[in-house]
Structure 1
C-alpha cells in the first residue's frame, strides 16, 4: 500500500522575496560615485603631466602658426603689387619693420618643433616645455606687433590723417588687454583663491 505524502508537505513551497529594481533587459545600475568637486583635478603622474603640457603646447603652437603664416604670406606679396611703388619713405620703413617682425614671429613660433626634433629621445621634455613656453610668449608679442604694423600700412592708405595711428594704438591696447593683461589677472586671482583655501 503506497503511502501518500502529507498534503501539507506537498503544498509547502519555500519562497524568497525577490526585489527587482531594474527593468528587465537592462544591466543593474552602477553604484553612485561620490561627487568630486570641479576644482579638484584627478591625480597625474609626472610623465602624464609632462605629456599633457606638451600636447597643449603643440595645440597652441598650431593656432599661432596658422595666423602668422597667413599674415607673413600677405606681407611678402605686397612688395610685388603696383601700389607698393607709390609708398612714401615712412610707409616703406613701416613695411620693412613689419616684414622683419613677421619673419621673427614665424621663427619663434616654429622653433618648438625644431627643438623637439633635435632633442627627441633625450629625456629633456621638461626643458623643452619651458623653452617652448618662452618662445611662444615671444612669438605672440612679435605677432601682435606684426598685425599692428600691417594694420598701420592698410589704414594709412584708407584713412587720412592721424586717425590711422589712433586706430592702430587702440588695436594694440586691445591686444595687450586680451593677450597679456587678462591672463595675468586670471592667474593672480587663481593664486589668491588657492592661498585662501590653504589658510586654516
Structure 2
C-alpha cells in the first residue's frame, strides 16, 4: 500500500491520525476528569459530617453506591493517561487511542450513574418528597440526550 493510499480524507497518515485523535481525546478527558474528581472529592467528605449518621439505611446505601461509582468513574477517566504513559514509544498509538476511547466511554457512563445517584441522595435528604425519583429520571434523560442521543444523531445524519 502506498503512502497516498494510507492517507485519510484529512490527508494524514495513520500515525498522524492517531496523534490527532489522541490530542482530541485527551482534551475531552480533561473536562470529564475535572468534573468527576471534584464530585468525588465532595462525596468523600460526606461520611465525616454529623448529618451522615442521621441518614436512614437507604440513604446510606445510596451514598456508598455513589462513592463506589465515583471511584470507578475516576479510575476509568484517568485510565487513558496511565495507558498513554505505559505504551508511549511502543508504536501502538492507534491501538492505545482505541482503548483510551473505550475507557473514556465507560468513564462517562459511570459519571452519569454517579451524578444520578448523587442527585438522588441530595434530593431525598433535602426534600423527602415522592417526586424525587421522577426528577432524577428527568435529569438522567437529559444527560442521555445531551451525551449520547445528540452525538449519535449527528454521527448518523452527517456520516456518508
Asked if Structure 1 and Structure 2 have the same fold, meaning a TM-score greater than 0.5 normalized by the shorter chain, the answer is: yes
Q: TM-score, length-normalised on structure 2? A: 0.92
1:49 to 2, 6, 17: 17
Name 2:155's counterpart in structure 1: 187
Instruction: Provide the alpha-carbon RMSD of the alignment.
Output: 1.1
Name 2:4's counterpart in structure 1: none
Name 2:36's counterpart in structure 1: 68
1:125 to 73, 83, 93: 93
Secondary structure (helix, strand or coil) at the match of 2:52 reads helix
Q: Measure the CA separation in 2 of the matches of 1:86 and 1:80.
A: 12
Q: Measure the CA separation in 2 of the matches of 1:46 and 1:112.
A: 20
1:145 aligns with 2:113: yes
Alignment of 1:1-200 (within 5 A): 42-191=10-159, 194=160
Which digits, 9 at most, give the CA deviation of each residue in 1:107-152, with x for residues without a partner? Answer: 0000111111111110010110000111111000000110111111
Moved more, 68-77 or 150-159: 150-159
Q: Measure the CA separation in 2 of the matches of 1:123 and 1:47.
A: 9
Q: How many residues align?
A: 152
Q: Which runs of 5+ in 1 are unaligned?
A: 1-40, 195-200
CA 1:118–1:146: 2 relative to 1, 3 Å: same
Higher relative contact order (CA 8 A, sep 6+): 2
Q: Flag the structure with higher helix content.
A: 2
Structure showing greater radius of gyration is 1
CA 1:81–1:144: 2 relative to 1, 3 Å: same
Q: Which runs of 5+ in 2 are unaligned?
A: 1-8
Q: TM-score, length-normalised on structure 1? A: 0.74
Which digits, 9 at most, give the CA deviation of each residue in 1:90-110, with x for residues without a partner? Answer: 001100100000000000000
